[in-house]
Structures are given as C-alpha cells and as structure tokens.
Amino acid sequence: MSTSEDKGLLRFLTCGSVDDGKSTLIGRLLHDSRAILADTLQAIERTSARRGMEAIDLSLLTDGLQAEREQGITIDVAYRYFSSGRRKFIIADAPGHEQYTRNMVTAASTADLAIILIDARCGVLTQTRRHAQLAALLGIPQLVVAVNKMDLVDFAQPVFERIRDDFLAFAAGAGIGQAQFVPMSALRGDMVVDRGEHLHWYDGPTLMEMLESAPAAAAPHAHPFRFPVQWVCRPQDAANPALHDYRGFMGRVEAGRVAVGDAVSVLPSGLRTRVKAIEIGGEALVQAGAEQSIALLLDDDIDVSRGDMIVAPEQPPQVLRQITADLCWLSDLPMDRARTYLIRHTTREVRAKLVDIEHRLDVNTLERMPAERLVMNDIARVRFKLAHPVFADPYVLNRSTGAFVVIDDSTYNTVAAGMIVADADAAA
Amino acid sequence: MNAPLPTLRDDTRLSHLDWLEAEAIHIMREVAGQCARPALLFSGGKDSVCLLRIAEKAFRPGRFPFPLLHIDTGHNYREVIEFRDRRAAELGERLIVRAVEDSIHRGSVVLKHADESRNRHQSVTLLEAIEEFGFDGCIGGARRDEEKARAKERIMSFRDEFGQWDPKNQRPELWNLYNARTHVGEHVRAFPISNWTELDVWQYIERERLALPTIYFAHEREVVLRNGLPVPVNVPLASGELTSPPRPGEQIVVRRVRFRTVGDISCTAPVESDADTVARIVIETASTALTERGATRLDDQTGDASMEQRKREGYF
C-alpha cells in the first residue's frame, strides 16, 4: 500500500440485537475482503461440520473464548482487523445481549462510526433505538443503518424504505444526527463488499464503500490545543552536557495543533510561556496535531509534572472541582454512596465522592427516572466532588478531555465510565 | 435519502502507521507513568524490535525508564541471541536475562522428558523474574490479530499473584484511559502494539529501517518435513551445542526458508520463501494465504483454546 492511497485508520463497532446476523456480517466483511486466511477457514469448516452445519458458520470467527464456545454466546468485546487495500479497519465487536450495555459503551468509546444492524423481517426494535441512543450518547459521529437479511424478504425495496423511514422518524425525535442506510444480505454477501445480484433498485454505496470513505473523525484538529503531560524527560546525562538542562514534556496531543513559537499556558499553575521545540524520539518537528505523541520543550523553566495540562492560553478548558457527568456503571458490585472512588481523567488521578444522582436514564425510552443506587449497566447523570481539580471540556466538544473512568480504590478495578456534561454551576 | 458522504480531510489525517505508532508511544508512556517498576520483554523477535523503536520514540533523548528482560528457554536460535545482545548494547540499555534452565535446576520447572518443548515453561521463569525484581508492569509485543484469545485481551491486562489471566474478569478499557494499578504481587501486562497486524509490523520495520536477526530473511537451511511443515534440524545454539536432531526415519533436505515468527526452536517452523529483503517480505505478507501461527507454530494446533489455556497459566 503506498502512502498516497493510505486513507488512515477507521475504528468502528457493530451493534444490533441477538440473531440479527452481526457475527455473520463481521465474518462476511473479513471473508470478502480476504482477511481470513486459509487455515482459519479450514478450522471453521471443521468445526461447522462437527456441529452438523451444512454451510460454513462465519460467526465462529468471532467467538474465541472457551466459555463462548460452550455457551454459544459472546461475552466480551473483541477487536478485529482487516484492510480493504485503501484503508485499515479496527472492528470493536461488542456482544448484542441486553445485559451487556457496558460492553457496548466500552466498544463505542473508541469508535468513529457505528453500524446498527436491523433484521429486515423485524424492522426497528427497542434494541435498535437503544443502540442508536447509546451511540449518540457516546458521541460517535457517524451512523450506518444496515438493513440485513434482505434475502428473507425477497429483497423488497418497500421493506427497506419503510424501515429507513421508521428509523428517521424516531431519530428526529431523539436528537440523533444523520445516518446512512444500506440494504444487504450478510449471509449471501449482497451490498457488503460486493454489490451482489439481488438489489438492483439500490444505487447507493455498499457498506464497504461507506467504510472506505467515512472520515476518521476522531482527530479534533480544529479544537483548542490540549496536551495532558504523561511523562517528564530529564536525562541529566553526565556524559552529555548538552542534555543537562533538557526538560521535555511528553504526551499525546488530545486536541488541536501546536507549532514552535506558539504561546501556551500550563495548568494548574496558569503560567504562560512559548513552545521552544517539538520532538518525536529526539527528532525535531515544526508542528504537531491531534493524536500525535510528542515531546514539548518550553521557553521558560516552569515546574510541570505528570497530570498537568499544557493548553491554548486563550481557550483553556474549565478547571473543575465538581463534575456533572453521564456515568455508565460497569461493575457487578453496585455503586456505594458512602465510599470515595478514584477518577482517572486524561493523565490525572483524583479522589472523588458522589454528591448526587440526578436521574437514571431508561436506555430504552430515554426517560429520566429517579434513582438511589447504581448497578451494572445503569446509565445515570451524577455529580462528583473532587479532591483536586481536573481540566476538562464537555464531552460533546472533546471526547478526550471530557471522558473519565472511575476506579475502585480497594480492588483497583475500573468500575464506571463517565462523560462530563457542560455545567456552568460546576466551576470551582 | 442517504445523507451525502462527508469529504475527507487529507491534510490532517495521520497515516495508519503514524496512528499506530502514536498510540503505542502513548501506551508505553502510560506504563512508565503508572507503574513503579516496569520491564520491557525483549526476545530479539520482530515484534519486540518494533517495541524498542517505540521506546526510543517515547523516551529519547532520555534513557528507557525500564530494563529489557528476556526469558531464555535455552533453545533459541543463535542468530537471535547474538542480535538480542548486540541491540541492547547499541541502545545502551540494561538487559536482564533469566533462563528456564535455572528454573529446571531450582525444581520449579519439571520436564516430562528432556526433549519436551520448553516454550510453555517460560511462564514459570517469567513469574520468578517478576517476583525477583518486583516488576509491576511487563511490556510485551503480543498482537490481537495473532490468535482468537488475544483478540479479547486488554491493552493493559491485569494479572493476579499467580500471573493468571481471567478472560471473564478483565478491566473494561475505555477511550485511551488505561488502568495499570496493582496491589503488591500483582502486575499488568501491557501490549502497546495490540492493534497492529503482522503486515503493519513489517511495514513499520520497512519504514523505520529496523535491523532484524538474519533468520527472518530467506536462507538455505537443513530441515525435515514433519506434518508438511519444514522443521529445522541440527540447529547450533549460542553455546555451540547442536539441538533438534531428526527423528528416526526422517530425511534431511535443504530448503530455502525464512521465519515469520521466531520462538523456541522446538516449536517454530519456518516457511518456504525467496523473500530476502524487508520489501519482499511485505509483499509476501500482504498476499499470504496462511496465518502467522497456522503456518509456523507447532504448539498452537493442539486445541481450539490452547493459547487461552496457556495465558490463564501466566503465559505472555
């Protein structure tokens, strides 16, 4: 693949209800893009035959763990890779079972695009609405609605159009942004990678064409500069006097751009300085943009540590000692209101105490319900009080500086995922 | 009707290799930032060669904030061991080697028979090294595309005091917020190149002009054909000793081969190939019909879940 053809990387997830053909679709994408190699295919053929199936069961590609094979279900998010020749793809494969909201949230957190599968015989279901709403809540910028199993409705155009109109009617009411629609048969292969022979009336792009041309929307270059400091490099190499005063602040640009000579400010101190140099691995760059891992050298000798943030001085993030957030509880131990938790936000870790549960979201209806406690898979709007401030943007504006995870400080397990909502009252 | 396709912003997008590299640097710095005593597993193989380059990009002009660690089964190709030592010396970084042989002497590894593959016993020696040095984070070069159980593993993968991986009890991993917190005795395995494929690794090696042990490139080698795979025989070890004798009745032939994956002599087979440069290997990898493990590993084919089982026991 030459660099000029390299369309970067696209991360997407597939969702839908049980038995809508999600595993078959992933199998089809991998198979028709020739990402499945002969020995893997032979292993699947053997297993399919052993289970008495006539055709190859492409869903066997995606269920990897012993328990999954035993129970015939998918229990965790898996990541899969394929390439179309124009682009590399990472699929976050999240299980469709209703009790696994947390897995969908996990898969959605890094996705640029979501494919929502609908069984053409069933149309828009509760599960479809739920997944579309979760995708919107997680800020996935692009939605593709794949109307699958068209072979079971005689490839009828009116069926596709009715489902599309149903979806659009509900999406308009639920504040879900634009979506693309494609009719397909993952089983037979129509409109997935190849156009097939049964959907002549459809003249839009195939699913693969949509994936190839979708923008990798994750890089927020147009946003104000945000650089959480991960690591401070002070070589102090006795043998090399040139390095004696070297102080590089290392991290990943989470938003915006930075160039040598730019004015920046450092949080929490608020001190201002200029960028003296930008490096990767000791080699100089003139500028850097979102998602690049770099080292920044500054004009002035300012004290900066891991957990601090270097930002655009005219458009700083909010400095918050209280945060209001949409929280998805991930742990099978319910949230304990009496305890303090750790919050990891960018490279910062702070103690946090729950102040209030404003409401719990019914993910099926988006209705706001009162709640006293949170259990696994609950999504709720909560307010935390923090022991130290975090430097945050609302999640809708910045998926990096707006997101955090909650860690149980006795087990050190990750127990919740949070998305900060804009809240004027929350400022310190 | 369908919404119009949004236009691409070619000026601002990282190439897929740049993106993968930036992600890997970020992960490695998180290990350094969160763990008190990390180590980087360096075997001399192609994946760990990429890890070393990532570490240079992450921490230079500073030193690596971790030593390199190799668990030597004693059955490694001489070229790989020589390369391992040379590379560590060039980088000026500390290399720790711990040997399965020593675990056998201690009695913590008991072989069923002398010529049994030592590959799975590496787990024991690794856990002993983790305990000896108090490592709380081990950076490794495993990739999710290698194997089905790997596809389910976290980038920051929690291990208990026994080094065990529990696929049903993994920490959820969201955005790029990694959780490497552990109690004393526990540790994380961190996989910065989780999202890379075999082809990405070769493209990266090509782009960065990384040196590799010579056995990755096509060369003539004495093999026997065992279950259709060319199995190297009479291989000289770094000690000078010859290992992997042919079995009775097997006929030695010379084949032009290269290694797609390099591990213990007893369980890695080369593939027949004429690819003697990285550029040729990239082309061959892009068009191969066999997976890396399917073509080359003698130990992964024993069951659908053999990798999962070994990982549960503390394998990398």
Q: What is the pLDDT of residues A131-168, one digit of tens each?
A: 898 899 999 989 999 999 999 999 999 999 999 999 99
**What is the rounded average pLDDT for all residues in chain A?**
86
- Whether residues A87 and B288 touch (CB distance < 8 A) is answered with no
- Whether residues A403 and B57 touch (CB distance < 8 A) is answered with no
Among A9, A83, A281, beta carbon nearest to B56: A281
Residue A100 contacts B where some CB pair is shorter than 8 Å: no
User: Nearest CA to CA, how far is B239 from chain A (Å)?
Assistant: 35
User: Nearest CA to CA, how far is B90 from chain A (Å)?
Assistant: 16
Please name the residue of chain A whose CA is at the shortest distance from the CA of residue B288.
Answer: A37
Residue A71 has pLDDT above 50, yes or no: no
Please state the ipTM of this predicted complex. 0.90
| Residue-level pLDDT at A66 | 46
Burial A35-65, CB ≥16 within 10 A → b, else e: bbbeebbebbeeebeeeeeeebbbbbbbbbb
Closest CA to A255 of B204, B176, B190: B176
Which residue blocks in A201-245 are alpha helix, DSSP H?
207-213
Residue A68 has pLDDT above 80, yes or no: no
Among A37, A80, A246, beta carbon nearest to B61: A246
Closest CA to A416 of A402, A400, A403, A399: A403
A24: which DSSP letter?
A: H
- Whether residues B289 and A38 touch (CB distance < 8 A) is answered with yes
The residue behind tokens 């401030």 is A389
Residue A414 contacts B where some CB pair is shorter than 8 Å: yes
Contact, A389 vs A95, CB < 8 A?
A: no
Question: Which run of H or of E encompasses A182?
Answer: strand A179-183
Question: Which run of H or of E encompasses A148?
Answer: strand A142-148
The residue behind tokens 């040598």 is A260
Contacts of A68 (CB under 8 A, 6+ apart): A74, A75
Please name the residue of chain B whose CA is at the shortest distance from the CA of residue A344.
Answer: B177
Neighbour-count burial of B166, counting CB atoms closer than 10 A to its CB (0-12 exposed, 13-18 middle, 19+ buried): exposed
Residue A33 contacts B where some CB pair is shorter than 8 Å: no
Of A208-222, A351-365, B5-19, B178-192, where does mean pLDDT reach its minimum? B5-19
pLDDT tens per residue, range B269-315: 899 999 999 999 988 888 766 666 555 555 544 444 566 666 666 66
Query: pLDDT over 70 for what percent of chain B?
Result: 87
Strand order in the sheet with B253-258: B229-232, B219-226, B253-258, B271-272
The residue behind tokens 């279901």 is A125
pTM here is 0.91
Contacts of A38 in chain B (CB under 8 A): 289-290
Provide the sign of the torsion angle of the four alpha carbons A179, A182, A185, A189, taken in this order.
Answer: negative
pLDDT tens per residue, range B171-198: 899 999 999 999 999 999 999 999 999 9
- Angle, helices B198-208 vs B278-286, to 10°: value is 160
pLDDT tens per residue, range B221-232: 999 998 888 999
Question: Which run of H or of E encompasses A32?
Answer: helix A22-32
Of A348-357, B115-124, B298-307, where does mean pLDDT reach its minimum? B298-307
Contact, B292 vs B146, CB < 8 A?
A: yes
- Looking at this protein, which amino acid is placed at residue A150? M
Token couple for A262: 């730019």
Residue A428 has pLDDT above 60, yes or no: no
Phi/psi of residue B199, each to 5°? -65, -40
Query: pLDDT: is A318 or B5 the higher one?
Result: A318
Token couple for B10: 């070619």
Please name the residue of chain B whose CA is at the shortest distance from the CA of residue A144.
Answer: B2
pLDDT tens per residue, range A113-125: 999 999 999 999 8
Question: Strand, coil or helix: what is A127?
Answer: helix
Average pLDDT over residues A68-77: 52
Residue A345 has pLDDT above 60, yes or no: yes
| Residue-level pLDDT at B304 | 44
Contacts of A407 in chain B (CB under 8 A): 179, 181
Contacts of A56 (CB under 8 A, 6+ apart): A41, A44, A45, A48
Query: pLDDT over 70 for what percent of chain A?
Result: 85
Query: pLDDT over 90 for what percent of chain B?
Result: 58
| Residue-level pLDDT at A219 | 54
Contacts of A103 in chain B (CB under 8 A): 172
Q: How far apart are CA A347 and CA A355, in angstroms?
A: 23
**Given its phi and psi angles, is residue B141 left (phi above 0), alpha (psi -120 to 50 degrees) or beta?**
alpha
Query: pLDDT: is A375 or B152 the higher one?
Result: A375
Residue B90 has pLDDT above 90, yes or no: yes
Residue B252 has pLDDT above 70, yes or no: yes
Other C-beta atoms closer than 10 Å to the C-beta of B4 total 8
Give the per-residue SS3 of chain B: CCCCCCCCCCCCCCCHHHHHHHHHHHHHHHHHHHCCCEEEECCCCHHHHHHHHHHHHHHCCCCCCCCEEEEECCCCCHHHHHHHHHHHHHHCCCEEEEEHHHHHHHCCCCCCCCCCCCCCCHHHHHHHHHHHHCCCEEECCCCHHHCHHHHCCCCEEEECCCCCCCCCCCCCCECCECCCCCCCCCEEEECCCCCCCHHHHHHHHHHHCCCCCHHHCCEEEEEEEECCEEEECCEECCCCCEECCCCCCCCCEEEEEECCCCCCCCCECCEECCCCCHHHHHHHHHCCCCCHHHHHECCHHHCCCHHHHHHHCCCC
| Residue-level pLDDT at A278 | 97
Contacts of A237 in chain B (CB under 8 A): 61
A40: which DSSP letter?
A: H
Of B13-22, B25-34, B216-225, B263-272, where does mean pLDDT reach its minimum? B263-272
Residue A366 has pLDDT above 50, yes or no: yes
Closest CA to B157 of A76, A400, A336: A76
Residue A86 contacts B where some CB pair is shorter than 8 Å: no
A137: which DSSP letter?
A: H
